[in-house]
Amino acid sequence: MNTMELIEGHKRITPAPGIPVWDIDPYGEAILSDPLEYYAELRAKGPVVYIPRLSILALGQYATTHKVFSDHENFVSSRGVGLNDFAIEKPWRAPSIILEVDPPDHTRTRKVMSRALSPKMVKGLVDMFAATAEELVSSLLKKDSFDGVTELAETFPVAVFPRAVGMKDVDQRILVDYGACVFNAMGPDNRLRRWALERNAEIAPWIMAACARDRLTDDGLGAMIYDAADTGELDQEEAPMLVRSFLSAGVDTTVTGIGNALWCFSQHPEEWQRLRDDPSLVRPAVEEVLRFTSPVHTFGRTAGHDTEIAGFPVEEGTKIICVLGAANMDPEKWGDPEVFRIDRRPTGHMAFGAGIHGCVGQNVARAEMEAILHALSRKVARIEPAGEAVWRPNNAIHALDQLPLKLIPA
Ligand code: OVV
Protein backbone atom coordinates (compact mmCIF):
# COMPACT_ATOMS: atom_id res chain seq x y z
CA MET A 1 0.00 0.00 0.00
CA ASN A 2 1.17 3.55 -0.75
CA THR A 3 2.39 5.08 2.51
CA MET A 4 0.40 8.23 1.75
CA GLU A 5 -2.69 6.14 2.35
CA LEU A 6 -1.46 5.03 5.78
CA ILE A 7 -2.14 6.78 9.06
CA GLU A 8 -1.30 5.46 12.56
CA GLY A 9 -0.53 2.10 11.01
CA HIS A 10 -3.87 1.67 9.26
CA LYS A 11 -5.58 2.61 6.03
CA ARG A 12 -6.71 6.23 5.68
CA ILE A 13 -10.45 6.07 5.06
CA THR A 14 -13.05 8.33 3.50
CA PRO A 15 -16.02 8.41 5.88
CA ALA A 16 -19.49 7.91 4.43
CA PRO A 17 -21.44 11.14 3.85
CA GLY A 18 -23.49 12.12 6.89
CA ILE A 19 -21.10 10.76 9.52
CA PRO A 20 -20.28 13.67 11.87
CA VAL A 21 -16.65 14.76 11.70
CA TRP A 22 -14.98 15.78 14.97
CA ASP A 23 -11.53 17.32 15.01
CA ILE A 24 -10.31 16.08 18.38
CA ASP A 25 -7.48 13.94 19.75
CA PRO A 26 -9.22 11.43 22.02
CA TYR A 27 -5.76 10.42 23.27
CA GLY A 28 -4.80 13.91 24.47
CA GLU A 29 -3.52 13.60 28.04
CA ALA A 30 -6.04 16.10 29.46
CA ILE A 31 -8.89 13.98 28.05
CA LEU A 32 -7.35 10.71 29.23
CA SER A 33 -7.05 12.10 32.75
CA ASP A 34 -10.54 13.64 32.88
CA PRO A 35 -12.69 12.09 30.12
CA LEU A 36 -16.32 12.83 31.09
CA GLU A 37 -16.83 15.88 28.84
CA TYR A 38 -15.26 14.06 25.91
CA TYR A 39 -17.54 11.07 26.53
CA ALA A 40 -20.62 13.34 26.58
CA GLU A 41 -19.65 15.20 23.41
CA LEU A 42 -18.86 11.96 21.58
CA ARG A 43 -22.30 10.56 22.43
CA ALA A 44 -24.00 13.86 21.54
CA LYS A 45 -22.48 13.98 18.05
CA GLY A 46 -24.20 10.75 17.05
CA PRO A 47 -23.95 6.97 17.04
CA VAL A 48 -20.74 7.05 14.96
CA VAL A 49 -18.21 9.87 14.59
CA TYR A 50 -15.21 10.33 12.25
CA ILE A 51 -11.96 11.62 13.78
CA PRO A 52 -9.87 12.96 10.88
CA ARG A 53 -6.45 13.29 12.55
CA LEU A 54 -6.42 9.55 13.29
CA SER A 55 -8.75 8.57 10.43
CA ILE A 56 -10.82 6.36 12.70
CA LEU A 57 -14.48 6.00 13.62
CA ALA A 58 -15.41 6.41 17.29
CA LEU A 59 -18.48 5.06 19.09
CA GLY A 60 -19.71 6.28 22.48
CA GLN A 61 -23.47 5.68 22.61
CA TYR A 62 -24.26 2.53 24.56
CA ALA A 63 -26.45 0.82 21.96
CA THR A 64 -24.04 1.17 19.03
CA THR A 65 -20.93 0.50 21.11
CA HIS A 66 -22.47 -2.68 22.49
CA LYS A 67 -23.66 -3.85 19.08
CA VAL A 68 -20.35 -3.30 17.29
CA PHE A 69 -18.24 -4.64 20.14
CA SER A 70 -20.25 -7.88 20.17
CA ASP A 71 -20.17 -8.31 16.38
CA HIS A 72 -16.97 -10.31 15.88
CA GLU A 73 -17.94 -11.27 12.33
CA ASN A 74 -17.95 -7.76 10.90
CA PHE A 75 -15.52 -6.18 13.40
CA VAL A 76 -12.50 -8.40 13.80
CA SER A 77 -9.83 -8.59 16.49
CA SER A 78 -7.19 -10.40 14.40
CA ARG A 79 -6.04 -7.11 12.85
CA GLY A 80 -5.27 -5.75 16.33
CA VAL A 81 -7.43 -4.01 18.94
CA GLY A 82 -5.39 -0.82 18.82
CA LEU A 83 -4.85 1.63 15.97
CA ASN A 84 -2.24 -0.46 14.14
CA ASP A 85 -3.69 -2.78 11.51
CA PHE A 86 -1.83 -6.10 11.75
CA ALA A 87 -2.78 -6.80 8.12
CA ILE A 88 -0.56 -3.86 7.14
CA GLU A 89 2.04 -3.22 9.86
CA LYS A 90 4.16 -5.55 11.96
CA PRO A 91 2.64 -5.79 15.46
CA TRP A 92 4.71 -4.26 18.31
CA ARG A 93 4.88 -7.69 20.04
CA ALA A 94 3.90 -11.22 19.01
CA PRO A 95 0.08 -10.97 18.94
CA SER A 96 -1.92 -12.46 21.78
CA ILE A 97 -3.36 -15.83 20.76
CA ILE A 98 -6.62 -15.14 22.59
CA LEU A 99 -7.15 -11.36 22.28
CA GLU A 100 -5.87 -10.67 18.79
CA VAL A 101 -7.50 -13.57 16.95
CA ASP A 102 -10.91 -14.46 15.50
CA PRO A 103 -12.79 -17.76 15.48
CA PRO A 104 -11.91 -20.55 14.98
CA ASP A 105 -8.40 -19.83 16.42
CA HIS A 106 -9.96 -17.86 19.25
CA THR A 107 -12.43 -20.59 20.15
CA ARG A 108 -9.74 -23.12 21.01
CA THR A 109 -7.54 -20.85 23.18
CA ARG A 110 -10.54 -19.22 24.84
CA LYS A 111 -11.77 -22.64 25.96
CA VAL A 112 -8.49 -23.38 27.74
CA MET A 113 -8.41 -19.97 29.43
CA SER A 114 -12.09 -20.14 30.50
CA ARG A 115 -11.42 -23.46 32.18
CA ALA A 116 -8.45 -22.02 34.13
CA LEU A 117 -10.53 -18.98 35.14
CA SER A 118 -13.83 -20.78 35.73
CA PRO A 119 -16.10 -20.10 38.73
CA LYS A 120 -14.89 -23.40 40.21
CA MET A 121 -11.24 -22.34 40.04
CA VAL A 122 -12.11 -18.92 41.48
CA LYS A 123 -13.87 -20.65 44.38
CA GLY A 124 -10.57 -22.32 45.21
CA LEU A 125 -8.88 -18.91 45.41
CA VAL A 126 -11.28 -16.85 47.53
CA ASP A 127 -9.91 -17.95 50.92
CA MET A 128 -6.39 -16.95 49.92
CA PHE A 129 -7.75 -13.62 48.58
CA ALA A 130 -9.66 -12.98 51.83
CA ALA A 131 -6.71 -13.77 54.12
CA THR A 132 -4.35 -11.58 52.09
CA ALA A 133 -6.86 -8.71 52.03
CA GLU A 134 -7.39 -8.89 55.82
CA GLU A 135 -3.66 -8.81 56.47
CA LEU A 136 -3.04 -5.93 54.07
CA VAL A 137 -5.87 -3.80 55.46
CA SER A 138 -4.66 -4.42 59.04
CA SER A 139 -1.16 -3.24 58.16
CA LEU A 140 -2.47 -0.12 56.37
CA LEU A 141 -4.64 0.75 59.39
CA LYS A 142 -1.43 1.20 61.38
CA LYS A 143 -0.32 4.02 59.08
CA ASP A 144 -1.28 7.65 59.42
CA SER A 145 -1.75 7.90 55.65
CA PHE A 146 -0.59 5.99 52.55
CA ASP A 147 -0.73 5.93 48.76
CA GLY A 148 -3.78 3.90 47.76
CA VAL A 149 -2.23 3.13 44.37
CA THR A 150 1.19 1.69 45.22
CA GLU A 151 0.44 0.47 48.75
CA LEU A 152 -2.98 -1.13 48.22
CA ALA A 153 -4.28 -1.16 44.64
CA GLU A 154 -0.98 -2.53 43.29
CA THR A 155 0.09 -4.57 46.31
CA PHE A 156 -3.03 -6.72 46.54
CA PRO A 157 -3.30 -8.08 42.97
CA VAL A 158 0.47 -8.52 42.84
CA ALA A 159 0.29 -10.54 46.07
CA VAL A 160 -2.57 -12.81 45.01
CA PHE A 161 -2.72 -13.15 41.22
CA PRO A 162 0.84 -14.28 40.42
CA ARG A 163 0.44 -16.72 43.32
CA ALA A 164 -2.80 -18.04 41.77
CA VAL A 165 -0.99 -18.44 38.44
CA GLY A 166 1.82 -20.24 40.28
CA MET A 167 4.57 -17.78 39.36
CA LYS A 168 7.91 -18.23 41.09
CA ASP A 169 9.14 -14.78 40.02
CA VAL A 170 7.19 -11.69 41.18
CA ASP A 171 8.17 -8.04 40.67
CA GLN A 172 5.45 -5.45 41.39
CA ARG A 173 6.88 -2.68 39.19
CA ILE A 174 7.49 -4.94 36.17
CA LEU A 175 4.11 -6.68 36.40
CA VAL A 176 2.13 -3.45 36.70
CA ASP A 177 4.17 -1.70 33.99
CA TYR A 178 3.72 -4.60 31.57
CA GLY A 179 -0.06 -4.20 31.64
CA ALA A 180 0.32 -0.43 31.23
CA CYS A 181 2.56 -1.06 28.18
CA VAL A 182 0.06 -3.41 26.54
CA PHE A 183 -2.77 -0.88 26.97
CA ASN A 184 -0.71 2.17 25.96
CA ALA A 185 0.40 0.31 22.81
CA MET A 186 -3.23 0.29 21.62
CA GLY A 187 -3.16 4.06 21.12
CA PRO A 188 -1.65 6.34 18.46
CA ASP A 189 2.06 7.16 18.18
CA ASN A 190 2.04 9.55 21.14
CA ARG A 191 4.29 10.01 24.21
CA LEU A 192 2.47 7.23 26.08
CA ARG A 193 2.86 4.68 23.31
CA ARG A 194 6.52 5.55 22.82
CA TRP A 195 7.07 5.09 26.58
CA ALA A 196 5.37 1.70 26.32
CA LEU A 197 7.60 0.46 23.51
CA GLU A 198 10.74 1.59 25.36
CA ARG A 199 9.65 0.11 28.68
CA ASN A 200 8.58 -3.09 26.94
CA ALA A 201 12.06 -3.52 25.49
CA GLU A 202 13.37 -3.53 29.08
CA ILE A 203 10.78 -5.85 30.62
CA ALA A 204 9.59 -8.22 27.87
CA PRO A 205 12.53 -10.63 28.43
CA TRP A 206 11.65 -10.83 32.16
CA ILE A 207 7.96 -11.38 31.33
CA MET A 208 8.59 -14.17 28.80
CA ALA A 209 11.09 -15.88 31.13
CA ALA A 210 8.51 -15.79 33.94
CA CYS A 211 6.00 -17.59 31.66
CA ALA A 212 8.24 -20.63 31.14
CA ARG A 213 7.06 -23.94 32.57
CA ASP A 214 9.99 -24.25 34.97
CA ARG A 215 9.15 -20.83 36.45
CA LEU A 216 5.65 -22.02 37.38
CA THR A 217 4.48 -24.33 40.16
CA ASP A 218 2.61 -27.46 39.11
CA ASP A 219 -0.60 -26.54 40.95
CA GLY A 220 -1.52 -23.10 39.60
CA LEU A 221 -3.51 -21.66 36.71
CA GLY A 222 -0.32 -21.56 34.66
CA ALA A 223 0.14 -25.31 35.08
CA MET A 224 -3.40 -25.84 33.76
CA ILE A 225 -2.36 -24.12 30.54
CA TYR A 226 0.74 -26.31 30.20
CA ASP A 227 -1.42 -29.38 30.93
CA ALA A 228 -3.56 -28.43 27.93
CA ALA A 229 -0.39 -28.50 25.81
CA ASP A 230 0.40 -32.00 27.15
CA THR A 231 -3.01 -33.32 26.15
CA GLY A 232 -2.66 -31.81 22.67
CA GLU A 233 -5.39 -29.22 23.15
CA LEU A 234 -2.69 -26.56 22.58
CA ASP A 235 0.58 -26.63 20.70
CA GLN A 236 3.64 -26.54 23.00
CA GLU A 237 4.63 -23.01 22.01
CA GLU A 238 1.11 -21.73 22.70
CA ALA A 239 1.27 -22.39 26.45
CA PRO A 240 3.74 -19.62 27.37
CA MET A 241 1.78 -17.24 25.14
CA LEU A 242 -1.43 -17.87 27.10
CA VAL A 243 0.43 -17.47 30.39
CA ARG A 244 1.64 -14.14 28.97
CA SER A 245 -2.03 -13.21 28.49
CA PHE A 246 -2.60 -13.70 32.25
CA LEU A 247 0.14 -11.12 32.85
CA SER A 248 -0.95 -8.71 30.10
CA ALA A 249 -4.60 -8.61 31.10
CA GLY A 250 -4.69 -9.77 34.73
CA VAL A 251 -2.60 -7.37 36.76
CA ASP A 252 -2.85 -3.71 35.74
CA THR A 253 -6.60 -4.11 35.11
CA THR A 254 -7.40 -5.32 38.64
CA VAL A 255 -4.93 -2.80 40.10
CA THR A 256 -6.99 -0.15 38.32
CA GLY A 257 -10.32 -1.61 39.43
CA ILE A 258 -9.24 -1.60 43.08
CA GLY A 259 -7.67 1.87 42.89
CA ASN A 260 -10.82 3.23 41.25
CA ALA A 261 -12.99 1.58 43.94
CA LEU A 262 -10.95 3.28 46.69
CA TRP A 263 -11.33 6.59 44.85
CA CYS A 264 -15.12 6.14 44.51
CA PHE A 265 -15.56 5.47 48.21
CA SER A 266 -13.17 8.24 49.29
CA GLN A 267 -15.35 10.61 47.23
CA HIS A 268 -18.70 9.12 48.31
CA PRO A 269 -18.58 8.51 52.08
CA GLU A 270 -22.38 8.04 52.23
CA GLU A 271 -22.09 5.08 49.84
CA TRP A 272 -19.29 3.66 52.00
CA GLN A 273 -21.61 3.83 55.00
CA ARG A 274 -24.35 2.00 53.06
CA LEU A 275 -21.86 -0.73 52.15
CA ARG A 276 -20.81 -1.12 55.78
CA ASP A 277 -24.43 -1.31 56.89
CA ASP A 278 -25.23 -4.01 54.33
CA PRO A 279 -22.29 -6.22 53.20
CA SER A 280 -24.56 -7.91 50.63
CA LEU A 281 -24.02 -4.70 48.63
CA VAL A 282 -20.34 -5.55 48.03
CA ARG A 283 -21.21 -7.43 44.86
CA PRO A 284 -23.33 -4.76 43.19
CA ALA A 285 -20.89 -2.11 44.47
CA VAL A 286 -18.09 -3.73 42.46
CA GLU A 287 -20.25 -3.56 39.31
CA GLU A 288 -21.09 0.08 39.95
CA VAL A 289 -17.41 0.97 40.44
CA LEU A 290 -16.65 -0.73 37.12
CA ARG A 291 -19.47 1.05 35.31
CA PHE A 292 -18.74 4.43 36.93
CA THR A 293 -14.97 4.44 36.32
CA SER A 294 -14.48 2.09 33.31
CA PRO A 295 -10.93 0.83 34.09
CA VAL A 296 -10.58 -0.07 30.39
CA HIS A 297 -11.93 3.08 28.69
CA THR A 298 -11.34 2.29 25.01
CA PHE A 299 -10.83 -0.80 22.87
CA GLY A 300 -10.58 -1.07 19.11
CA ARG A 301 -11.78 -3.29 16.29
CA THR A 302 -11.20 -3.38 12.50
CA ALA A 303 -13.89 -3.71 9.83
CA GLY A 304 -12.97 -7.08 8.29
CA HIS A 305 -14.94 -6.26 5.13
CA ASP A 306 -17.28 -3.57 3.84
CA THR A 307 -20.11 -3.30 6.37
CA GLU A 308 -22.21 -0.67 8.16
CA ILE A 309 -22.62 1.03 11.52
CA ALA A 310 -25.93 2.71 12.48
CA GLY A 311 -26.95 2.65 8.80
CA PHE A 312 -23.73 4.30 7.52
CA PRO A 313 -21.50 2.35 5.14
CA VAL A 314 -18.11 1.42 6.65
CA GLU A 315 -15.25 0.33 4.39
CA GLU A 316 -13.02 -2.69 4.94
CA GLY A 317 -9.92 -1.84 6.99
CA THR A 318 -11.61 0.93 8.99
CA LYS A 319 -10.38 1.18 12.57
CA ILE A 320 -13.20 1.72 15.06
CA ILE A 321 -12.67 2.72 18.66
CA CYS A 322 -15.36 1.57 21.05
CA VAL A 323 -15.31 4.03 23.93
CA LEU A 324 -16.50 1.76 26.73
CA GLY A 325 -16.23 4.59 29.25
CA ALA A 326 -18.68 6.69 27.23
CA ALA A 327 -21.13 3.78 26.85
CA ASN A 328 -21.01 3.22 30.62
CA MET A 329 -22.02 6.88 31.13
CA ASP A 330 -24.79 7.02 28.50
CA PRO A 331 -27.93 8.55 30.09
CA GLU A 332 -30.07 6.81 27.42
CA LYS A 333 -29.04 3.53 29.02
CA TRP A 334 -28.53 4.44 32.67
CA GLY A 335 -30.83 7.39 33.40
CA ASP A 336 -28.58 9.12 35.95
CA PRO A 337 -25.13 7.73 35.03
CA GLU A 338 -23.12 10.41 36.84
CA VAL A 339 -24.60 9.36 40.19
CA PHE A 340 -22.49 6.70 41.96
CA ARG A 341 -25.05 4.35 43.54
CA ILE A 342 -23.80 1.02 44.87
CA ASP A 343 -27.22 -0.63 44.57
CA ARG A 344 -27.71 0.36 40.92
CA ARG A 345 -26.97 -3.19 39.67
CA PRO A 346 -25.82 -1.98 36.24
CA THR A 347 -26.52 -5.11 34.21
CA GLY A 348 -24.94 -4.93 30.78
CA HIS A 349 -22.17 -2.45 31.62
CA MET A 350 -19.28 -2.53 29.17
CA ALA A 351 -16.35 -2.56 31.63
CA PHE A 352 -15.56 -6.21 30.77
CA GLY A 353 -16.48 -5.75 27.11
CA ALA A 354 -19.16 -7.93 25.51
CA GLY A 355 -19.48 -10.84 23.14
CA ILE A 356 -17.03 -13.67 22.49
CA HIS A 357 -14.05 -11.55 23.58
CA GLY A 358 -15.69 -10.44 26.84
CA CYS A 359 -13.16 -10.54 29.71
CA VAL A 360 -12.37 -14.19 30.39
CA GLY A 361 -10.92 -13.29 33.80
CA GLN A 362 -13.89 -11.29 35.03
CA ASN A 363 -14.71 -13.73 37.83
CA VAL A 364 -11.19 -13.45 39.23
CA ALA A 365 -11.29 -9.67 38.88
CA ARG A 366 -14.58 -9.50 40.78
CA ALA A 367 -13.27 -11.84 43.48
CA GLU A 368 -10.21 -9.62 44.03
CA MET A 369 -12.28 -6.45 44.29
CA GLU A 370 -14.81 -8.12 46.56
CA ALA A 371 -12.07 -9.44 48.88
CA ILE A 372 -10.68 -5.92 49.37
CA LEU A 373 -14.09 -4.31 49.87
CA HIS A 374 -15.13 -7.01 52.37
CA ALA A 375 -11.94 -6.61 54.41
CA LEU A 376 -12.20 -2.82 54.39
CA SER A 377 -15.91 -2.81 55.22
CA ARG A 378 -15.30 -4.85 58.37
CA LYS A 379 -12.37 -2.82 59.66
CA VAL A 380 -12.70 0.70 58.26
CA ALA A 381 -15.32 3.30 59.18
CA ARG A 382 -14.23 5.86 56.61
CA ILE A 383 -11.81 6.03 53.64
CA GLU A 384 -10.68 9.65 53.61
CA PRO A 385 -8.64 11.59 51.05
CA ALA A 386 -5.25 12.63 52.49
CA GLY A 387 -4.24 14.75 49.47
CA GLU A 388 -5.18 15.19 45.85
CA ALA A 389 -6.04 12.18 43.68
CA VAL A 390 -4.03 12.30 40.43
CA TRP A 391 -5.00 10.31 37.32
CA ARG A 392 -2.36 8.64 35.15
CA PRO A 393 -3.09 9.04 31.41
CA ASN A 394 -3.04 5.76 29.46
CA ASN A 395 -4.27 5.13 25.91
CA ALA A 396 -6.71 2.42 27.05
CA ILE A 397 -6.85 2.45 30.86
CA HIS A 398 -8.43 4.98 33.19
CA ALA A 399 -6.29 4.63 36.27
CA LEU A 400 -4.95 6.64 39.17
CA ASP A 401 -1.31 7.63 39.50
CA GLN A 402 -1.58 8.78 43.13
CA LEU A 403 -4.34 8.38 45.70
CA PRO A 404 -3.31 9.65 49.15
CA LEU A 405 -5.65 8.07 51.71
CA LYS A 406 -6.29 7.83 55.41
CA LEU A 407 -8.26 4.91 56.89
CA ILE A 408 -10.41 5.66 59.94
CA PRO A 409 -10.75 2.42 61.98
CA ALA A 410 -14.21 1.06 62.70
C1 OVV B 1 -4.66 -5.98 27.38
C2 OVV B 1 -5.15 -7.35 27.14
C3 OVV B 1 -6.46 -7.64 27.33
C4 OVV B 1 -6.89 -8.94 27.11
C5 OVV B 1 -5.99 -9.89 26.70
C6 OVV B 1 -4.66 -9.59 26.50
C7 OVV B 1 -4.24 -8.31 26.73
C8 OVV B 1 -3.70 -10.62 26.03
O9 OVV B 1 -2.50 -10.33 25.93
O10 OVV B 1 -4.12 -11.73 25.75
> 186-223: b or e for each residue (b if 16 or more CB lie within 10 Å)?
bbbebebbebbeebbeebbeebbebbeeebbeeebbbb
Say yes or no to pLDDT of 4 above 80.
Answer: no
Atom of ligand 1 nearest to the CA of 253: 1
Q: Is 182 in the pocket of ligand 1 (CB under 6 A)?
A: yes
Question: Which residue intervals of 216-309 are DSSP H helices?
Answer: 221-230, 238-249, 252-267, 269-277, 282-293
Q: Is the pTM of this model over 0.95?
A: yes
Ligand 1: does its nearest atom lie under 6 Å from the Cβ of 395? no
| pLDDT score, position 1 | 57
- Domains of the chain: which residue ranges? 6-409
Kindly give the distance from the C-alpha atom of residue 160 to the centroid of ligand 1, in angstroms, as a whole number.
19
Residue 359 CA, closest ligand 1 atom number: 4
**248 CA from centroid of ligand 1 (Å):** 5
Ligand 1 centroid to residue 99 C-alpha, Å = 5
User: Is 96 near ligand 1, meaning CB less than 6 Å away?
Assistant: yes
Give the helix ranges, DSSP H, for 268-356. Answer: 269-277, 282-293, 324-327, 331-334
Cα-to-centroid distance, 131 and ligand 1 (Å): 28
Q: What percent of the chain has pLDDT over 70?
A: 99
Q: What is the mean pLDDT of residues 188-213?
A: 98
pLDDT tens across 331-358, in order?
A: 999 999 999 999 999 999 999 999 999 9
For 6-20, write each residue's pLDDT tens digit.
Answer: 999 999 999 999 999
Task: Please give the average per-residue pLDDT across 362-372, as a whole number.
Answer: 98
Three-state SS for 286? helix
Q: Please tell me the distance between residue 182's alpha carbon and the centre of ligand 1 in angstroms.
A: 7
Task: Work out which ligand 1 atom sits closest to the CA atom of 242.
Answer: 10
pLDDT tens digits along 218-255: 999 999 999 999 999 999 999 999 999 999 999 999 99
Rg for the chain, CA atoms, rounded? 21
Q: Ligand 1 mean position to 19 CA, how many Å?
A: 31
Answer yes or no: is the C-beta of 397 below 6 A from any ligand 1 atom. Answer: no
In this predicted model, what pLDDT tens digit does every residue of 87-130 receive, in sequence order?
999 999 999 999 999 999 999 999 999 999 999 999 999 999 99
**What is the spatial distance between Cα 322 and Cα 335, in angstroms, rounded to a whole number?**
21
* Alpha carbons 255 and 110: distance in angstroms, whole number: 23
By CB atoms closer than 10 A (0-12, 13-18, 19+), residue 151 is: middle
Using a pLDDT cut of 90, give the percent of the chain over it: 99
Residue located nearest, by CA, to atom 4 of ligand 1:
249
Report pLDDT digits (tens) over 28-46. Answer: 999 999 999 999 999 999 9
Q: List 107's β-bridge partners, or say none.
A: none
Average pLDDT, the chain: 97
| Range 6-409 has CATH code 1.10.630.10 | yes
CA geometry: angle 86, 256, 65, nearest 5 deg: 50
User: Ligand 1 pocket: which of 99, 256, 395 to mutate (most atoms <8 Å of CB)?
Assistant: 99
